[in-house]
Structure 1
Amino acid sequence: MAHDRRALVLNAIVQDYVKTGEPVGSRVVVERHRLGVSPATVRNDMAALEEQGLIAQPHTSAGRVPTDAGYRKFVDQIAELKPLTRGERAAIEKMLSEAVDLDDVIARSVRLLASITDQVAVVQYPSLRRTAVRHIELVPLSETRALVVIITDAGRVEQRIVTTESGLSDEQFATLRATLNEEISDHQLAELPDALTRVEARLPDELRPAARTVGRALEDTLRNEAEERVVVAGTANLTRYDIDFERTIYPILDAIEEQVVLLRMLAHKEDGLHVGIGSENVSDAFSETSVVSTNYVGADQQTVARLGIIGPTRMDYPATMSSVYAVAKYLSDILSAN
């Protein structure tokens, strides 16, 4: 019984501190949350929670504030995500559905996430190391030159002009195009060498040099573009919170400039919603922040990248988690439909 009540007291302290930014006292907990016990009982519960390291008293005679461990306990008890309003869902769907290409949908997603959470938003580009080739188009420019257009299952489009050793007719270009697509479609970068070997084996001798030329261009393009990168929006949202600029915000801004740091921050072995709180985060720069992130998927329902937000530990976790999940879901739906 006492254990259940202490969980309610901890939840009350987290919720009130998130709303007000002020330490929460026992009388406030009793009055606002109607726990059916006296302030003295709540003070005893607070003492027990403090001994467990879940709350702390910043000043003598002051109320309590959650610690990182307290926030972790609170987050781990969230059984269901807070649903977005109909208006929020419609706004997300409308903004993302109007995107014209992958760059546009990523840019819209990061701005949208920053806007609806009032936090710093981070979206990782779909990695060509994890995405597969959906289609290859060969556009003849002359008998010996062609434009190679590579389309991935995550919607990325890459182009390269190649020059063949000998001239090819339109019919030969068509044969090469068809064979490439039959063998290479749905294969990732690491699988391309074997697929290209099968392409050569199927083609007549006169087309094999051209197939090797296109194959090298394909591998080089994907390898060069496979570098992981992220986009960021909403850094100005850091000024909304009572955070020390010199000690906290400046290190965060420096860390946000480092792509490697952001990629490490988003990297998780398992898919799904993840919340990193304070010292749990990979960089000391984020030791006073929380990072809420999740994965999004491509056409084959396989994870292609992650997105998330960086904000103060004093955040509305249920609402933030719901927003991150919702944007990832709509982004996945758009990429899957392409």
Structure 2
Amino acid sequence: MPRSRKSQIALEATPYYHCTSRCVRRAFLCGRDEHSGNDYEHRRGWIEQRMQALANVYALDLCAYAVMSNHYHIVLHINAEKANAWTDTEVIQRWHALYAGNFLSHKYLAGKDLYDAQLMVVSELVTEWRERLMSISWFMRALNEDIARQANAEDVCTGRFWEGRFKSQALLDEAALATCLAYVDLNPIRAQMADAPEDSDYTSIKERIDTAQTEPDTAEPAQPKPLFPFVGYPRQDMPSGLPFRLQDYLELVDWTGRHIRSDKRGSIDQQTPPILERLNIDAEHWVYNTQHFESQFKGIVGTVLSIKAQCHRLGYQRTPGLAAATYLT
């Protein structure tokens, strides 16, 4: 039985979530349909642009993404601090960038005089919209509905474009986050759509590599503005961002991609990236998990201790994913 979205997405557990959406049956997100001969490659650009546009409106940071032939992956960070810092005017402006609002919100932005009762209604709307602008469900809805409308218009048809609701996984700790980021970024390589991360079109890893190469001689590589930045390892007064060094992560993805492409068992060399040592992750387990992340883990991902703590917090009678969690570290 599917669990409620509230039990799957809880900010008190973690701000990081991996989400996926898949097309129905023969619907294509991108690529060439051998049945009809149509080429839908341009739709990959639609979803990449929409993701980045929505990230500029919502209090959700885009950590990683990969657009595949009939589905896509996205890792999001809920930025509650950012949302709570918005003024009422900023909240309304952001909501109006996507939705019509109502006559009271438009009068408020225009600086018109409102009665106390009307101001109270506006305040309630702002509270509701602020919550929605940091909601992964509303983000995914805005993303999927827009792509479905464009695709149906292009195909001159109606009906569902996406399978049911999107799937989500809560990433409870750094090990789960790093594994999921690499899993998403290496999707095209596993699917044999690309030979190397820098050749993986419509992925966050390609965008990070392309941006880093614009200033190759700097101590800290440049990072793309649409993506949540890597800010180094956890420390005091740490800025908002992913808790890893970009250089270490790029090295990790490159190293992992080489082993995923290898058909030989036992090909793990001793020169493992230092990030795995810091996270206390076994190299062989790492490569396995970055190839089977979705099948190994369901709604929540983390170490044994973090999964047990979260299940206790949510009142689960059973603790799913413990066997898989033993392979995460």
TM category, shorter: under 0.3
User: What's the TM-score once normalised by structure 1's chain length?
Assistant: 0.23
Could you say which structure has the higher helix fraction? 1
Could you say which structure has the higher strand fraction? 1
Which of structures 1 and 2 has the bigger CA Rg?
1
User: What's the TM-score once normalised by structure 2's chain length?
Assistant: 0.24
